[in-house]
Amino acid sequence: MPLIQNISKQTILPLNILLIFIVPVFLITSDVRIAFNSVMLYEYGFDKYDVSRETGLSKDTLMKVAFDIKDYLNSNEASLDVKVMEGGQNIDLFNEREIEHMKDVKGVLSKMNRVQEISGLYLLIYLFVSMVRNKFRWPEVFVSSVVRGCLLTLILVLTLAIGIFIGFDSLFEQFHVVLFEAGTWTFDPRTNYLTRLFTEGFFMDASLLIGVSVFIQASLIYCALWLGKRLLSPNSVSRD
């Protein structure tokens, strides 16, 4: 493929730099996406924070709500429609403010999912281009950029972990200030279910779990590429 072979070093350099930043973006958005689709994570929060007692909803009802929310976030439905049995009748669980907030949450997640998909596509295309340029030998430049991206990911995760332990309340509030319009994400726990289903403690636990998962993934990728470089890189072979 002459076109790929003729890509200049001046063009490759900024693409390499971008690749370094793409790595943490892809890993973090991938794990956040998995977390929001994990009913097991929702169940963990329900059990740990005794949500059944706080809401008066049975465990079976809570799990139905969890599946309904997961399905909504992955659907084309405009509004979240969750009904529960009360007094022998199906009633709406969430009020209008909660439904509107979930619309906003779905919009943010949809954009994040597109970022994840684009960053993953960038990684695949860059890997293919690197393999072609290296005649399907060890892609030294690609690997070096990904390794740096993994190191950047580890730094970001450690920084985030420190921030969570020092002041999660402040981080959680600033997160909402940045992503949502003022007045759309504060609720009275006496009249809503959303904040009783998903407590601030749950979001702290979920954030830490995502951080640990990303940290492990970045570490494994770093170690695998370092080992691969030692075993497969032409430069290392020539030095030996």
d(CA 62, CA 48): 13
Containing domain of residue 98, as a range? 2-231
Please report whether residue 237 resides in a domain. Answer: no
d(CA 67, CA 230): 46
Contacts of 30 (CB under 8 A, 6+ apart): 116, 120
Instruction: Provide the b/e sequence for 88-108 (b: ≥16 CB within 10 Å).
Output: eeeeebbeebbbbbbbebbee
CA-nearest of 164, 190, 165 to 175 is 164
Q: How many domains does the chain contain in total?
A: 1
Please report whether residue 183 resides in a domain. Answer: yes
Please report whether residue 103 resides in a domain. Answer: yes
pTM attached to this predicted model: 0.89
What is the pLDDT, as a whole number, of residue 10? 60
What is the pLDDT, as a whole number, of residue 2? 54
pLDDT digits (tens, 9 = 90+) for 50-66: 999 999 999 999 999 99
Please report whether residue 238 resides in a domain. Answer: no
Please report whether residue 166 resides in a domain. Answer: yes
Please report whether residue 47 resides in a domain. Answer: yes
Please report whether residue 240 resides in a domain. Answer: no
pLDDT digits (tens, 9 = 90+) for 5-55: 555 556 677 889 999 999 999 999 999 999 999 999 999 999 999 999 999
Please report whether residue 239 resides in a domain. Answer: no
d(CA 218, CA 58): 39
